[in-house]
Structure 1
Amino acid sequence: MNRVYTLTDACAHFGPPNRAVRALSDISLQIHAGERVALVGANGCGKSTLLRLLHGLTPPTSGQVRSEPGLRQAMLFQKPHLMRLSVQANIALGLWLRGTPWVQARVQALTALDRVGLLALARRNARQLSGGQQQRVAMARAWSLKPQVLLLDEPTASLDPHAKREVESLIEEFASGSEAMTLVFASHNLGQVKRLASRVIYLEQGRVLADLPVQDFFGGPLLQQQYPAAHLFVKGELV
């Protein structure tokens, strides 16, 4: 299986050297094509920073973060970043910035909107949509770029249950359909992690304390015996 990311002793510190906050410390792991990797842990444990490290938005303070040459990736945030333009134009703009001619980009944007069930809203102002619809627009924008890896930072955290199911269903389709994207996502929703992930990485204070197949993380004695902090987190006893 091809490796898409390799991290070796990767650290991320913020602030002046004498008062630096350690967001990530000595992260060494590999992520392979086709995996569905969930990042879990309490607020401030480093999930978002790790995603930003993978996407190149945050450079490592030390250590190495290597990705497969030519890797195509897209990242979705908890609150989508949409411009005060039509839904269609928001998607077309991303394609145009990647080098697609504008007329072709507008056509491809409609295809992407049809993919997520929002074709009828193509001419609406993107910022006037509901939270769930905005997240689906962001999903369409990501899908239109044909990424090999989709990075998601709490993509359903602020959505109502119906919108959450719609977005989660799209994530599942993107990972298992003809696109077969690799997923790396942060989530506080352990039910969602069970449904979507094949592998779970548990972080605490910027360190990886457990890295297990999803069935072992939720369903066996291995977690309790070897990873007591992660076990307490799953039981809801570690905040």
Structure 2
Amino acid sequence: MTQLFPMQAKGIESRRRGQVLVGPIDLTLDGQGASVVIGPNGAGKTTLLRLLHGTARLSAGQINWACPTDEARHHQAFVFQRPVMLRRTVMENLIYPLRLRGTPVADARTRARDWAVRVGLEKMLDRAAPVLSGGEQQKLALARALIAEPKVLFLDEPCAALDGRATREIEEILAHAKATGTRLILSTHDMGQARRIGDEVLFLLGGRIHESGSVDRFFNGPETPQAQAFLRGDIVE
């Protein structure tokens, strides 16, 4: 069995045109629960997730998993704020990651039907994915990520454009994934969602981790004036 954790990021930075967008950041993550990345707009939340996942290039520092990097990435998935849909049916979107891994078509289709039921899309398997509603697309994106049973799932604002009902449905899927062993690392602007899903908070400010700790400790007693102001809804820069 592949062991991914602990994951250690040492001095990681992302720069663009000489400007530091994120970093330097030192971070160690274990293999359980959910880490929620919060902070004001422009703090670097999306960039940090992409650096950890490997879809953004490091300008400095290094990220070390407990196994070779290529193997670690094989066991990861990423769900974007705006779901990326293949211009194919729901069924074809669901089986795509399995076919990339060499799963036989019949087995892939069986697993796809099972996941469609889990996320409430079982009646839409033959529908073109791009015509689904925003909530339906996000549920499809989640199912497509989870169908390959990743050990780590990165999510960038997974409910940003969704209504309350769709948000609740997405959170139920994420709670089940966490309960069955998938490590979640997500960004959100929804502090209620951070409390409901998260075990650990990473508060980003100016591209750096300004404060971190358990969800209960952070929300009940933030240590820094900046974190206190952010939780009050004040503008923090």
Aligned-residue offset at 1:194: 0.7
Aligned-residue offset at 1:2: 7.3
Write the mapping of 1:177-196 to structure 2, written as runs, cut at 5 A.
179-196=180-197
Write the mapping of 1:104-115 to structure 2, written as runs, cut at 5 A.
104-115=107-118
Deviation string for 1:199-231 (max 9, x for gaps)? 1000111111001111111112xx2xx321111
Letter in 2 for 1:12: S
Aligned-residue offset at 1:181: 0.9
Equivalent residue, structure 2, for 1:206:
207
Instruction: Select 2:42's aligned residue among 17, 41, 44.
Output: 44
Deviation string for 1:33-89 (max 9, x for gaps)? 113100000111111011101111012111111223233111101111011111000
Deviation string for 1:170-196 (max 9, x for gaps)? 1111111xx221111000000100111
**Equivalent residue of 2:230, what SS?**
helix
Aligned-residue offset at 1:117: 2.1
**Equivalent residue of 2:174, what SS?**
helix
Equivalent residue, structure 1, for 2:139:
136
Following the alignment from structure 2 to structure 1, what is the Cα–Cα distance between the partners of residues 84 and 178? 22
Write the mapping of 1:1-239 to structure 2, written as runs, cut at 5 A.
3-15=5-17, 20-69=18-67, 70-71=71-72, 72-176=75-179, 179-220=180-221, 223=222, 226-239=223-236
Deviation string for 1:146-170 (max 9, x for gaps)? 0111110000001111111111111
Residues 229, 238 of structure 1: 8 Å contact kept: no
Residues 5, 54 of structure 1: 8 Å contact kept: no
Following the alignment from structure 2 to structure 1, what is the Cα–Cα distance between the partners of residues 30 and 16? 28
Following the alignment from structure 1 to structure 2, what is the Cα–Cα distance between the partners of residues 102 and 68? 32
Residues 80, 135 of structure 1: 8 Å contact kept: yes
Following the alignment from structure 1 to structure 2, what is the Cα–Cα distance between the partners of residues 54 and 4? 13
Following the alignment from structure 2 to structure 1, what is the Cα–Cα distance between the partners of residues 34 and 235? 24
Following the alignment from structure 1 to structure 2, what is the Cα–Cα distance between the partners of residues 83 and 2? 29
Letter in 2 for 1:9: G
Letter in 2 for 1:182: R
Following the alignment from structure 2 to structure 1, what is the Cα–Cα distance between the partners of residues 174 and 16? 31
TM-score, normalization by structure 2 = 0.92
Residues 25, 209 of structure 2: 8 Å contact kept: yes
Moved over 4 A (4+): none
Residues 151, 183 of structure 2: 8 Å contact kept: yes
Following the alignment from structure 2 to structure 1, what is the Cα–Cα distance between the partners of residues 64 and 136? 34
Following the alignment from structure 2 to structure 1, what is the Cα–Cα distance between the partners of residues 120 and 76? 22
CA RMSD of aligned residues (A): 1.5
Identity value in percent: 36
**Count of aligned residue pairs for this structure pair:** 229
Aligned-residue offset at 1:101: 2.7
Residues 76, 138 of structure 1: 8 Å contact kept: yes
TM-score, normalization by structure 1 = 0.91
